[in-house]
Amino acid sequence: MVAEWQIATLAEKIPPQVLKQGSQVISRVLAEKANGLEMELDFGHQGQWLQVRARGEDADAFLNLLKQEYGEVRGFVAGAGRIGYGVYVDIGIQDPRPKDALYPLHRMRAQLVDGEPKSAREILDANALVDFVPLKMIVTELEGENISVELDDGARDNLVSWRKYPFDRVIVVGADRAFVENAVRASGLQNDVVKVESLSLFVQSVLCKIGTEAPGVIAKIGNRLRGVGLKSYRTPVKL
């Protein structure tokens, strides 16, 4: 008797840069995580949300592991800079049709710039919040079909903590961590980079060493990350 497929839809939104490269990128990332397990593995996407299928002896354990690592509810920035009264966040609503939530400007100001009257674009740029960056959000208001959200305490504290330390960052959208780490080594940037942190499966944060500026890292690494989104985060702390 053939085992039935088990399916898990993860809180992972696939950037278009990954979709353009075809299935091999996603296949490689999932295969690395499934190494040594007894099962068949497949995947698809609902909208741009990653859906993984598995069957076999280790399928249940594997999908549970993925759900623990990538299954918690979170949103992804959508249409950064497109509107002036906040930013839209995709929180995974697909039925009856896809619907983004609004992170309104007054809450962005309250949470991220201590109430200063900065524009949405200024706040997004200062925090390197580009499309597909993941954020844990909480729903604050439901009015008809309109949904308002704000950062949960952990997500806010994480973003605020970045500006307390003298480290620039490069946000990489559309590549897995192993690919970015290889690009760092191939570009000879080992002495300029502390580490590569995963914000999601396909969004990475390259933590620069003190004194290393993010635009300089982008200039050196860009040729090895063609077709991938790169955004500088500039720390306000100067030593």
Residue 58: per-residue pLDDT: 93
User: What's the average model confidence in pLDDT over 175-194?
Assistant: 96
- Say whether pLDDT at 23 is over 60: yes
DSSP strand pairing (193-200 vs 99-104):
unpaired
**Confidence band for 233, pLDDT divided at 50, 70 and 90:** very high
Give pLDDT, residue 1. Answer: 56
Average pLDDT over residues 140-149: 92
Distances (CA, A) of 164 to 1, 49, 120, 160, 235: 58, 33, 21, 7, 8
Who contacts 189 (Cβ-Cβ below 8 Å, separation ≥6)? 217, 220, 221
Q: What is the pLDDT of residues 95-133, one digit of tens each?
A: 788 899 999 999 999 999 999 999 999 999 999 999 999
Mean pLDDT in residue range 14-36: 86
Mean pLDDT computed over 199-223: 96
DSSP secondary structure string for all residues of 116-181: ----HHHHHHHTT--TT-EE-EEEEEEETTEEEEEE-HHHHHHHHHHTTSS--EEEEES--HHHHH
Question: CA 138, CA 129: separation in Å to the nearest integer?
Answer: 17
Per-residue pLDDT at 173 exceeds 90: yes
pLDDT of residue 205: 98
pLDDT recorded at residue 25: 83
pLDDT at 144: 86
Q: Which residue type does 118 have?
A: K
Q: How many residues does the chain have?
A: 239
Distance of alpha carbon 79 from alpha carbon 17, whole angstroms:
15
Q: Give me the chain's average pLDDT, please.
A: 92
Distances (CA, A) of 29 to 44, 46, 88, 122, 167: 14, 18, 28, 34, 28
| Position 87 confidence tier, pLDDT thresholds 50, 70, 90 | very high
Pick from 5-9, 175-179, 192-196, 221-225 the range whose average pLDDT is largest.
Answer: 192-196
Predicted confidence band at 72 (pLDDT cuts at 50, 70, 90)? Answer: low
Residues 175-195, mean pLDDT to the nearest whole number: 96
Percent of the chain with pLDDT over 90: 70
Rounded (5°) CA angle 206-179-59 = 110
Which residue do the tokens 């918690």 mark?
A: 72
Q: Above 70 in pLDDT, residue 139? A: yes
The mean per-residue pLDDT over the stretch 23-31 comes to 86
CA dist 192 and 188 (Å) reads 9
Residues 6+ apart with CB under 8 A from 13: 48, 49, 50, 76, 90, 132, 134, 200
